[in-house]
Amino acid sequence: MSDKPALRAEAARLMAVFEAAGAQAVDADLLLPAETLLDLYGEDIRARAYVTHDPDRGEMMLRPDFTVPVVQMHMAGGADPARYTYMGEVFRTQPAGSGRPSEYLQVGYEVFDRADPTRADAEVFALFAQALAPYRLRAVTGDIGLLMAAIDTLGTTEARKSALRRHIWRPRRFRALLDRYTGRAPVPPARKALIAAAARTDALVLVAEAGPEIGLRGAQEVVARIAALVADAEAPPIPAAEAEVLGVILSLKASLPDAYEQLCDVCVDLPALAPAVDRFAARMEALEAAGVDIGQLPFEASFGRTTMEYYDGFVFGFVAEGRPDLPPVATGGRYDAMTRILGAGRAIPAVGGVIRPGLLARVGAGASS
């Protein structure tokens, strides 16, 4: 059994660091409306959350994290700018036999500030580095926004770009799509047969001949899907050179300054990537101004692609050296798009992160990192 009083004492210490930086302590309900989370993440969230039904409120989920309810609270009438901190249990289902806890303590810090997003990125990262200084942890950074911008530079259809953006957090699915769009992977036989049939027969006739409707999709939705598949099959492949450059970006691992130099080289072939690289440079300057040794700070372009899907810009994590059995002790990043979704079109630049005191206890305090 974990020592809960000790974990809560460490959580309180972390919260005190965030409160000293101007954060307001807030809380969130244990039960959250499932509809909101499903709208944000799709049905995938069901596999990771505890779902129940309330007679009055409908389908509910045990709190899988704090960020969504904190964003909802802020968008409903929070000050601008605002800083929040919180601590409490979150709940995630785990694979049988994994030994991972399904309930654990989380401490977080969120910043909503329009003035200077890059400076806010640096503020949050530097504050986490300060709070975690007693532990032997390795920091790593990434940039989902850079990957999104790289996808936007591809010479292909908007539908294909949208699919790649949607699956950026699912690396295997992303690779499978890219291989198909570049022509490196064949079209699945069943899809190929359907496209050939659609070329000979009206799609509505195909749907009618397939038998009675089963499931949630109606005939018109199926017809629209067939039309999309036909259009995709007619689209030319993504040029090999563009896919190669995207692969270079995805595999980039270096210190921040070295990564910046390599990205500047990439901009020679992809000049449309320049605005994202300029933001990268501005963030480096802000991190340095916040006291971070950027020369020793790693950048991994694909970092953050397997975490929660709301991060859409700068991302970071703190991991325990020599403990591949442990997930990141702390993670965070920018999630501007979520504020627009939960704010019904209104948006505000936002960045934050969470720390797991239970993992800190397993790592143990030591010399400063």
The encoded tokens of residue 246 equal 């995207």
DSSP for 288-338, written as a single string: HHTT--GGG-EEETTTTTTS-TT--SEEEEEEETT-TTSPPSEEEEE-HHH
Task: Determine, yes or no, domain membership for 266.
Answer: yes
pLDDT at 252: 96
- Residues 257, 220 share a domain: no
Q: How far is CA 232 from the centre of its chain?
A: 27
Nearest by Cα to 142 from 168, 113, 116, 163: 168
Cα 160 to Cα 91, 151, 187, 189, 312: the distances in Å are 35, 9, 14, 20, 19
Same domain, 271 and 221: no
pLDDT of 105-114, one tens digit each? Answer: 999 999 999 9
Bridge-based pairing state of the strands 82-91 and 24-25: parallel
Q: What pLDDT does residue 368 have?
A: 38
Q: Does residue 224 fall inside a structural domain? A: yes
Q: How confident is the model at residue 1 (pLDDT cuts 50, 70, 90)?
A: very low
> Does 140 lie in the same domain as 253?
yes
Based on the fold, state whether residues 266 and 346 are members of the same structural domain.
yes
Residues 126 and 253 in one domain: yes
Please identify, among 237, 269, 295, the residue that sits at the C-terminal boundary of a domain: 237
In a domain, 132, yes or no: yes
69 & 199 share domain: no
Residue 24 belongs to a domain: no
Count Cα neighbours of 277 within 13 Å in the Cβ-side half-sphere: 19
Please name the helix (run of DSSP H) or strand (run of DSSP E) that holds residue 268, with its range, or none. helix 256-269
Does 189 lie in the same domain as 256? no
Buried b (16+ CB within 10 A) or exposed e, 57-75: eeebbbbbbbbbbbbbbbb
Q: For a pLDDT cut of 90, what percent of the chain falls above it?
A: 54
Whole-number Cα distances in Å, 47 to 50, 66, 78, 188: 8, 18, 32, 27
CA 228 to each of CA 155, 158, 225: distance values in angstroms, whole numbers, following the listed order:
18, 12, 5
Torsion of CA 259, 262, 266, 271, to 10 degrees: 70
Q: For residue 150, what are its two tokens?
A: 């790289």
Express each pLDDT in 198-231 by its tens digit: 667 776 666 666 656 666 566 677 777 777 877 8
Tokens encoding 311: 């991060």
Task: Based on the fold, state whether residues 56 and 171 are members of the same structural domain.
Answer: no
Average pLDDT over the chain reads 87
> What amino acid is encoded at 11 in this protein?
A
The number of residues in the chain equals 369
pLDDT value for 215 = 60
Q: What pLDDT is recorded for position 319?
A: 95
Rg (CA), the chain: 23
Residue 93: closest CA among 54, 52, 55, 36:
52
Tell me: do 189 and 226 sit in the same domain: yes
**Could you list the residue range(s) of the whole structural domain that residue 174 is in?**
157-237
pLDDT given at position 300: 96
Is the domain of 10 the same as that of 119? yes
In a domain, 368, yes or no: no
| CATH at 95 | 3.30.930.10
DSSP codes, 171-222: HHHHHHHHHHHTTSSPPPHHHHHHHHHHHHS-HHHHHHHT-S--SS--HHHH
Residue 279, helix vs strand vs coil: helix
Overall pTM > 0.85 = yes
Q: Give me the number of domains the chain comprises.
A: 3
